[in-house]
Chains A and B, each alone.
Chain A
Amino acid sequence: MGRTALIRVKPRRYKKGDIIRVDSVIMHPMYNGIIKDKKTGKPIPPHYITDVEVYYGDQLVTKINVNASVSANPYFSFNLKVDKEAPLKMVWKDNKGEVTEKTIKIKPH
């Protein structure tokens, strides 16, 4: 639902209790209100990701507060201790209220 987003984990195979790295990208222009439209010369109104929530099962494990000076197509990387089989869900929200969700399965071997 929402924009194109990708979640990748490293390593792809892991054991219960390991600490893995979670990488994420969401395709979003991150207009900061100062960047100008090349064609009109006018500043493009602010449109940027403001919050990211990471859920592991039911638990909110990470929350990111984002300002407009994060690069376009925001990339966020953090660690996760994988001690159970559960979905990993990321929810991105932007200043216009658009919400994007992406879920992957965490399945320790």
Chain B
Amino acid sequence: MKKKIITGIMSVAAAAFFINVNAEEAGQAISEEDWKLYQEGINPGEVFAEEVGGALFEKPMGPKKLSCASCHVKNGDVEERVATAAAYYPKYDKDAKTIINLEQRIQICQSKYQGVKPFSLKSKENTALTTYLFYLAQGTKINVDTKSPLAKEFYKYGRYIFTLKRGKRNLSCQVCHEFAAGKVLRMQWLKPLGFEYNGIKGTTAADHWPAFRMTKNKVQTLQQRFQGCMKQSKQKILPLGSKEMVALELYVKSLSNGAELKTPGLRR
């Protein structure tokens, strides 16, 4: 009972914090018009995708000297299935026998088909290849499966992680991206991650991640971004590629099903 009361008080405190901020700071965040100025010109994320990711895609590796291109380029073009793959992950993978994301599929291709030790999930190389594939898939509509039995299970688990309050601040993804959506925190708008929630327009987050982070001067994948959120909200950081992260990614991405990929994105 005591625990419930404390949790209750903390939720109210968290909510009240946001209300206070909103009252003083209404309007004190970048405008849509000003945000457009950031999008003029070249996104360094695209340079990273084309030049770094693209180069790795064509680099022969392993005992058979195979590159991604060796298998996946037909008639001078990356085959459709691979060029649009980014829109469908996380999904069930026959080799992994479970649901994995694109970064993990790249690892399987490397170990099973190229015969090399795969780039780690936090490596620049894995991020570059992932970003390249997301770049190739620009314009493809996101279509993450949430209906088949295993996908359904992952979706539910992902939603659970999304709503689970963890860490010192007793925050969950839901607190900022649903309860406090529409308010301003630290001069940034808090927004839902899908199309909309409670009448507040969302960001369709999955359509612009991986993104080039201006303050970090590098491209981050969606799961890497989740880790950043967790660090800031003082939750224990979940490992890349863990079941929890894949489920969370599947859930968050499914919220944008139907949105066209605009990757790589450009973010603060």
Contacts and interface: CB of A to CB of B under 8 A. Distances in A.
A75 B41 contact: yes
A27 B47 contact: yes
A25 B51 CA distance: 12
A23 B52 CA distance: 19
A6 B51 CA distance: 9
Nearest to A25: B42
B215 to A, nearest CB: 10
A75 B217 contact: no
B217 A23 contact: no
Contacts of A29: 217
Given A4-B52, A6-B42, A25 B47 contact: yes
Contacts of B217: 29, 72-73
A2 B250 CA distance: 40
B241 interface: no
Contacts of B40: 77
Interface string A1-13: 0001010100000
A23 B42 contact: yes
A4 B42 contact: no
Contacts of A23: 41-42
A3 B41 CA distance: 19
Contact of B47 (A4, A72, A77): A4
Contacts of B52: 4
A27 B52 CA distance: 11
A24 interface: yes
B41 A73 contact: no
A77 B41 CA distance: 8
Interface in A21-75: 23-25, 27, 29, 71-73, 75
B139 interface: no
B44 interface: yes
Interface residues of B, number: 12
Contact of A27 (B41, B44, B214): B44
Contacts of A72: 217
Nearest to B40: A77
Nearest to A5: B47
A4 B53 CA distance: 12
B51 A75 contact: no
Interface string B57-89: 000000000000000000000000000000000
A29 to B, nearest CB: 7
Interface in B19-58: 40-42, 44, 46-48, 50-52
B264 to A, nearest CB: 13
A43 B32 CA distance: 36
Nearest to A71: B214
Nearest to B45: A73
A77 B52 CA distance: 23
Given A4-B52, A8-B42, A77-B41, 6 more contacts: A6-B50, A24-B42, A27-B44, A27-B47, A27-B48, A29-B217
> Which 9 pairs, one residue from A and one from B, show the smallest C-beta to C-beta distance?
A73-B44, A25-B42, A4-B51, A72-B217, A6-B47, A23-B41, A23-B42, A75-B41, A25-B47
19 contacts: A4-B47, A4-B52, A6-B42, A6-B46, A6-B51, A8-B42, A23-B41, A23-B42, A24-B42, A25-B41, A25-B44, A25-B47, A27-B47, A27-B51, A29-B217, A73-B44, A73-B47, A75-B44, A77-B40
